[in-house]
Amino acid sequence: MAKAVVLYSGGLDSSLALDIVKEWGATVFPLHIAHKLLSGQRLPMVPDLKIVDVTEEFAQIVQEPEYGYGKNLNPCIDCRIVMLKKAKEYMEEVKADFVVTGEVLDQRQMSQRLDTLMLIEKKAGLEGMVVRPLCGALLPPTIPEKKGLVSHKDLLKIKGRSRRLSLEIAKNRNITEFLSPSGGCLLTDPGFCRRLADVLRFQETLGAVDIELLKIGRHFRIAPNAKLIVGRNKDENKRIEEMADNSDIFFYVPDTGSPNAILLGDKKYTKVAAAITARYSDKKKEPKVEVYFKHRGKEEKIKVKPIDDEELSKWRI
């Protein structure tokens, strides 16, 4: 009996691929590649699903992708190479015969053209070892097909961006639980990418904490070495307080509805950061607002005039 590592994102295509390979009678080893640039949707329940986090590796790729970016800051080709490399490692660990993906030919302009599909598997060290059940009938025969582990007639001919046929097949197979394609990777979100581009411009490295902070709050670039993040709601305020490092400066306005905020960088911009924090508090119409701030275990306060919107717009990312 053939054994296959199935790359599983939780979306429609990978759910279909997993179901099809099970139908072939193969023993499946589902593998989910996770990183903090995913939107955080809850994965459907899949038995024996292995999850591998590649945040640190992916953060390095985002800073300088070998094969460039897509429409936004999405290094899709480099990302797929990392995913297939992890699949290869798992394939070798469980002694599987091949790797399966839910890719559809020409569904994504950058990473799912025939030439890029072949490039990606070659760079990952899996040349000829990747079976694509949804579009494999349109592709060159793989090594598993040549060995008789996979029948070419069992492969489908899905091509292009339309999901109509995939949805129809999923309905016929009673596959109803899969993630929405509108979720997925934050690197396709223009707003998130503006923030990320700012970090890449002013920081030498991008880490997991940086990525988590990019997901929350309003962001203001006060200076090349100073950025302020201001919470927008209760959950973000809590997250900002939890993530504030001892070297960061934490702001709030007491005794009123107030956002939490953190200044990352030079302390000399404390007054400006306090004025922005005051602007988003319930005391924003008062001529002067007392803002508290904490830094390296010491709490202080400063009275500032809430910043006006015209000045604020200069720094908003």
- Tokens 């500032």: give the residue: 304
What band does 113 get if pLDDT is binned at 50, 70 and 90?
Answer: very high
Q: Which two tokens stand for residue 87?
A: 């699949």
| Greatest Cα-to-Cα distance within the chain, rounded to the nearest angstrom | 79
pLDDT-based confidence at residue 301 (cuts at 50, 70, 90): very high
Q: What is the CATH number of domain 3-186?
A: 3.40.50.620
pLDDT for 21 beyond 70 = yes
Which helix (H) or strand (E) covers residue 235, if one does? helix 234-243
Q: Are strands 218-223 and 226-230 parallel, antiparallel or unpaired?
A: antiparallel
Domain segments of the chain: what residues?
A: 3-186, 216-313
d(CA 57, CA 168) in angstroms, rounded, equals 36
Predicted confidence at residue 182, as pLDDT, reads: 55
Classify 299 as helix, strand or coil: strand
Residues 55-66, mean pLDDT to the nearest whole number: 93
Instruction: Check pLDDT > 60 for residue 284.
Output: yes
Q: Are 17 and 156 in contact (CB under 8 A)?
A: no
Phi and psi torsions of 220, nearest 5°: -135, 125
For position 279, what pLDDT does the model report?
97
**Which residues are CB-neighbours of 5 under 8 A, at least 6 positions away?**
28, 29, 31, 87, 90, 91, 94, 96, 98, 99, 100
CB distance 107 to 48 below 8 Å: no
CA 54 to chain centre: 10
For β-strands 261-265 and 249-252, DSSP reports them as antiparallel
Q: In this structure, are residues 70 and 61 in contact, taking their beta carbons and an 8 Å threshold?
A: no
Look at residue 6 in the predicted model and tell me its pLDDT.
98
Query: Looking at the chain, how many residues does it have?
Result: 317
CA angle centred on 102, ends 160 and 156, rounded to 5°: 65
Residue-wise pLDDT tens digits, 185-205: 899 889 999 999 999 999 989
Q: Which of 133, 171, 127, 169 is nearest to 150 (CA)?
A: 133
Portion of the chain with pLDDT greater than 90, in percent? 90
Strand order in the sheet with 289-295: 218-223, 226-230, 261-265, 249-252, 289-295, 298-304
* Residue 71: predicted pLDDT: 86
Q: What is the pLDDT of residue 223?
A: 96
Task: Output the six-digit token pair for 298.
Answer: 């010491």
Task: Calculate what percentage of the chain has a pLDDT beyond 70.
Answer: 99
- Going by C-alpha positions, the residue among 295, 239, 298, 310 that lies closest to residue 263 is 295
Per-residue confidence (pLDDT) for residue 109, from 0 to 100: 86
- The reported pLDDT for the residue numbered 271 is 97
Q: What is the mean pLDDT of residues 177-183?
A: 76
pLDDT greater than 60 at residue 183: no
Chain-centroid distance, C-alpha 241:
23
pLDDT > 90? residue 40? no
Q: Yes or no: say if 165 and 15 are a contact pair by the CB < 8 Å rule.
A: no
Quote the distance between the C-alpha of residue 251 and its chain's center: 28
What pLDDT is attached to residue 9?
Answer: 94
Model confidence at 41: pLDDT above 80: no
**Side-chain-facing half-sphere of 228: CA atoms under 13 Å:** 29
State mean pLDDT over 104-132: 96
